[in-house]
Amino acid sequence: MTALAETPLTALHAQLGARMIPFAGYSMPVQYPMGVMGEHVHTRRAAGLFDIGHMGQVRLHGNGAAAALEALIPGDIAGLPAGRQRYGFFTNDAGGLLDDLMLANRGDHILMVTNAARKDADIAHMCAHMPAGVTVDPVTDRGLIALQGPCAETVLHRLNPAAKNMAFMDVTDMELLGQACWVSRSGYTGEDGYEISVPAAAAEPLARALLQFPEVAPVGLGARDSLRLEAGLCLYGHDIDAKTTPVEAGLAWAIGKVRRTNGTREGGFPGAGAILGQLVRGTRRRRVGLLPEGRAPMRAGVALFADDGAEQVGAITSGGFGPTVGRPVAMGYVPAALSVPGSTVYGALRGKRLPLTVATLPFRPANFKR
* Pair 105, 169 in one domain: yes
* Pair 316, 167 in one domain: no
List, in order, residues 6 or more apart from 314 with CB less than 8 Å away. Answer: 285, 303, 304, 332, 333, 334, 335, 338, 345
H or E element, residue 312: strand 312-322
* Pair 61, 203 in one domain: yes
* Pair 324, 251 in one domain: no
Task: Report pTM.
Answer: 0.97
Range of the domain at 95: 1-281
Looking at residue 4, what DSSP letter applies?
Answer: P
**What pLDDT is stored for residue 1 in this prediction?**
56
Question: Using an 8 Å Cβ cutoff, are 193 and 187 in contact?
Answer: yes
Domain boundary among 256, 281, 306: 281
**What pLDDT is stored for residue 269 in this prediction?**
98
Question: Using an 8 Å Cβ cutoff, are 19 and 218 in contact?
Answer: no
* Pair 100, 227 in one domain: yes
* Pair 202, 127 in one domain: yes
- Other C-beta atoms within 10 Å of 181: how many? 23
Nearest to 194 by CA among 170, 221, 229: 170
Peptide bond into 362 cis (omega under 30): yes
* Pair 274, 312 in one domain: no
* Pair 290, 178 in one domain: no
Coil/strand/helix, residue 70: helix
Domain count across the chain: 2
* Pair 229, 90 in one domain: yes
Strands across the sheet with 216-218, in order?
171-176, 179-184, 193-199, 142-148, 47-51, 216-218
* Pair 254, 126 in one domain: yes
**What pLDDT is stored for residue 38 in this prediction?**
98
* Pair 252, 303 in one domain: no
Domain boundary among 239, 262, 281: 281
* Pair 42, 111 in one domain: yes
Question: CATH number, domain at 336?
Answer: 2.40.30.110
Question: CATH number, domain at 145?
Answer: 3.30.1360.120
What does pLDDT average to in each consecutive run of 10 residues of the chain (370 residues)?
Answer: 91 98 98 98 98 98 97 98 98 98 98 98 98 97 98 98 98 98 98 98 98 98 98 98 98 98 98 98 98 95 92 98 98 98 96 96 94
Q: Which residues of 224-236 are buried (b: 16+ CB within 10 A; e: fewer)?
A: bbbbbbbbbbbbb
**What pLDDT is stored for residue 2 in this prediction?**
77
Domain boundary among 227, 255, 281: 281
**What pLDDT is stored for residue 177 in this prediction?**
98
List, in order, residues 6 or more apart from 203 with CB less than 8 Å away. Answer: 7, 8, 9, 53, 142, 143, 145
